[in-house]
Structure 1
Amino acid sequence: MNKQVVACASGDGIGPEIMAAVQRVLEAAGAPLEWRYVELGKLAYESGHSSGITPEAWETIRATKVLLKAPLTTPQGGGYKSVNVTLRKSLGLYANVRPCVAYAPFVATWHPKLDMVIIRENEEDLYAGIEHRQTDEVVQCLKLISRPGCEKIVRYAFEYARKNNRSKVTCMTKDNIMKLTDGLFRQVFEEISLEYLDVQTEHMIIDIGAARIADTPERFDVIVTSNLYGDIISDIAAQIAGSVGLAGSANIGEHGALFEAIHGSAPDIAGQDCANPSGLLQAAVQMLVHLNLPDTATLVHNAWLKTLEEGIHTQDIFRAETSGECVGTQAFADAVIARLGQVPVLLPSACYTEASEQEAPALITSALPRPKATKELVGVDVFLHWRGTCPEELALRLQKLGSARLKLVLLTNRGVKVWPDGFPETFCTDHWRCRFTAKGTKLIYHGDVLALLAGLDMASLDFIKTENLYEFDGIPGFALAQGQ
């Protein structure tokens, strides 16, 4: 069999140790892989690459289209971007797939029936990383949610459920508060669910959803959610299953795939031969399925399950009452290698097939066709850096500017209405939103906004940002203020 070329990043901290262990297991299992090593993370940062990725690494990853990556370290402080986020977004790896399974009674857990898959949108949300300091006291982070992004990840989740005989997909959002961004995610979920009537569906607010994952995870099957929520709940699910050290993840896109453990680089235990390589090994199993090597994936997965079942555990999951022998990183790999060809007795055995496509169902990259909306400008939010404390004083100054087509209707501070009819108890900082809407006519034009900004400049008011207020097919494309 011809070898398949795979890019490999050994990582930082415990990364080189667990990567070596995993590669020994794969070699012993006869995986037809040829490694192309790339430089990512700490060494790349130190050599002057602020992204943590060298140009040569980009070239190799894009050529091979598959990367197995050990954990990386992002330096503390400003100026450094996460390599993980950069890889996922730059390569269009929009679907993060994280299976979370309990291995009771061999790995201690309060939830022996836990078996869920969390499918997380990987490119948008607050992880867009668009942040600004706007005043002395306020910074902002933009939450970006797109309809095409929602459609791709939601459809992926339903396809995954259908191809893997999963009966239910749960959508988690916070659309009771973020009615436009999270509201769009839920709306798309409900639209697409109508095409998958063979799959049960439900929606849950993310806070109670996270609580129920921690309390009754057996009620979930497949969960689909946005980037930040998915990052948080997948760690919760992995930890209550037994350990974050047991879980791997796949990052799937149209042009490639990245496979990694979900835990960090753990520099405090680096070099001690005690790290658990299981998360990276599980990611490697996902990679083998993606590469259409189901027999090898089955062989490795079952040997790993047999090792757990026989109580051979690393220190992170070792419990005197459930474990038999505490071993180091390389000894654990040796134990898995010794059990290649064996299957677990009590734990459900793995069985991958070419047809199952367990980790990578058909990619969904095209958005549903939608007619173009009629878009009308009806107002503008102007954000000011103003050090005063009295909303009435600021409102009076703004009203004195005068405008033939725009009127001041609202002031907010940190999203809370403070004028008109604000409360003196409301705490205010130096960041003010001033909402202007059309006066005497429904529509305004960009020239009206520019004239307003010119007036603010003449009045020595420091405007730091504007957001135009639009209606789309007559429906407001902006939220009301809290208290409005």
Structure 2
Amino acid sequence: MNAHPTFRIAAIPADGVGAEVVEATRTVLNEIARNAAEPFELSWEEFPWGSHYYEQHGRMMPEDGLDQLNGFDAIFFGAVGWPSVPDHVSLWGLRLAVCQGFDQWANIRPVRFLPGVRSPLRRADTADLDWVVIRENSEGEYAGLGGRNLGARGAGHEVAVQSALFTETGCERIIRFAFDMARERDHRKVTGVTKSNAQQYGMVLWDEVFQRVAADYPDVETELVLVDAMAARFVLHPESLSVVVASNLHADILSDLGSALVGSLGVAASANINVERRFPSMFEPVHGSAPDIAGQGIANPIGAFGSAALLLDHLGLPAAADSLRRAITAVTAAGVLTPDVGGQASTKEVTSALIEHL
């Protein structure tokens, strides 16, 4: 009888380079599983959903897609988006449908600088920079509330209303999640991002909850910073950051800025977590589907590998996750890089080099 634990992983390559980085990640994770000090097994099932599925079926995934995914230990996602399908259709029809349907309310986006990857930030050459953005992932500006009306009045008279949703429960759980994470880091600090000077209802509630939660963590340094000032802080004083918690839209933008400061969206990892584990969590690189380079074999798999490390953490395999992170660092330090970060390596060459370093 096989005594090794087996984890069921749903793979959704979706669109463009998503298929390439998911294939690379499956290769790496299977290698890690076989050679871990405490071996484990991964049972993969791939779902062919995405924009091409939409072209055939008029949907990004089947009507019972969530039922099919429920019961897996985790989901690994590639990227969504293709020129033939409007972006709001592809995003809401697949990725957001999974995130919201499975209440994956905590989005973790580490900002991790890598040796060998040139940062446009001069301070990165002399400072030890390492922070993480915690994004509220279920409501806020992406709640999907609103509508378009009055189009019958004629051209130029239609009205669109988009409402942001801030609930006390939603604010508290993500802010408390950020404070709990800060307690696990060397620099125990949480920076809350707000815009309460202009958004006098939702963001004032956010601020009030932040201050109330902060009182329960006297051992953690805290501050609230307006989002525009926070964007400047990312560039001018990144050494002051440890854990940054923000609403859905603000964290989405700031985390992409952080990835750009690292050197490329291609190296950025993320995890969409259902913290209570009532549903599977989903792991994905931050980069998009990149139709301009899809199929050329030069997609950067580092962001996907970093997301796989977060997946291993979530499965309770921290030693395997650490070995993967060390291998990522070794590969970039050795200069095995794809074109987006100034190298000439292919996706397969980066994957092979990483396996050698494992």
User: What TM-score do you get using the length of structure 2 for normalisation?
Assistant: 0.89
| Match of residue 271, structure 2, among 250, 266, 271 | 250
SS at match of 1:296: helix
Return the alpha-carbon distance in structure 2 between the equivalents of residues 49 and 293 of structure 1: 39
SS at match of 1:267: coil
Q: CA RMSD in A?
A: 1.7
SS at match of 1:169: strand
SS at match of 2:117: coil
> What's 1:84 paired with?
95
- CA-CA distance at 1:82 after TM superposition: 4.6
Return the alpha-carbon distance in structure 1 between the equivalents of residues 224 and 207 of structure 2: 8
SS at match of 2:196: coil
> What's 1:10 paired with?
13
Q: Which runs of 5+ in 1 are unaligned?
A: 319-324, 341-484
Runs of at least 4 residues of structure 1 off by over 6 A? none
The structure richer in helix per residue is 2
Instruction: String of CA shifts for 1:369-393, please: whole Å, max 9, x gaps.
Output: xxxxxxxxxxxxxxxxxxxxxxxxx
Question: Is 2:134 the counterpart of 1:119?
Answer: yes
Question: Is 2:150 the counterpart of 1:132?
Answer: no
> What's 1:61 paired with?
69
Aligned partners of 1:127 and 1:228 also within 8 Å: yes
Instruction: String of CA shifts for 1:50-94, please: whole Å, max 9, x gaps.
Output: 3x2224542232111410111111621775525222211111000
* Compared CA separation, residues 77 and 339, structure 1 to 2 (3 A): closer
Return the alpha-carbon distance in structure 2 between the equivalents of residues 16 and 329 of structure 1: 11
* Compared CA separation, residues 99 and 78, structure 1 to 2 (3 A): closer
Instruction: String of CA shifts for 1:8-50, please: whole Å, max 9, x gaps.
Output: 1122101111111111111222252110112321133223253
Aligned partners of 1:114 and 1:241 also within 8 Å: no
Instruction: Give matches, 1:167-206, under 5 Å.
Output: 167-206=188-227
Aligned partners of 2:106 and 2:137 also within 8 Å: yes
SS at match of 2:341: coil
Aligned partners of 2:112 and 2:129 also within 8 Å: yes
SS at match of 2:295: coil
- CA-CA distance at 1:128 after TM superposition: 1.1
Return the alpha-carbon distance in structure 1 between the equivalents of residues 260 and 284 of structure 2: 16
Percent identity of equivalent pairs? 33
Question: Is 2:57 the counterpart of 1:36?
Answer: no
* Compared CA separation, residues 300 and 145, structure 1 to 2 (3 A): same
Name which structure has the greater RCO, CA cutoff 8 Å, separation 6+. Answer: 2
SS at match of 2:169: helix
Aligned partners of 1:169 and 1:222 also within 8 Å: yes
> What's 2:38 paired with?
none
Instruction: Give matches, 1:442-481, under 5 Å.
Output: none
Aligned partners of 1:150 and 1:185 also within 8 Å: yes
Q: Which runs of 5+ in 2 are unaligned?
A: 35-40, 151-156
Amino acid at match of 1:297: A
SS at match of 1:123: coil
Return the alpha-carbon distance in structure 2 between the equivalents of residues 207 and 304 of structure 1: 32
Aligned partners of 1:289 and 1:297 also within 8 Å: yes
* Compared CA separation, residues 336 and 79, structure 1 to 2 (3 A): closer
Aligned partners of 1:172 and 1:225 also within 8 Å: yes
Instruction: Give matches, 1:339-418, under 5 Å.
Output: 339-340=357-358
SS at match of 2:28: helix
Question: Is 2:347 the counterpart of 1:329?
Answer: yes
Aligned partners of 2:21 and 2:301 also within 8 Å: yes
Amino acid at match of 2:324: V
Aligned partners of 1:40 and 1:72 also within 8 Å: no
- CA-CA distance at 1:143 after TM superposition: 1.1
SS at match of 1:89: helix
Return the alpha-carbon distance in structure 2 between the equivalents of residues 129 and 220 of structure 1: 31
Aligned partners of 2:66 and 2:101 also within 8 Å: no
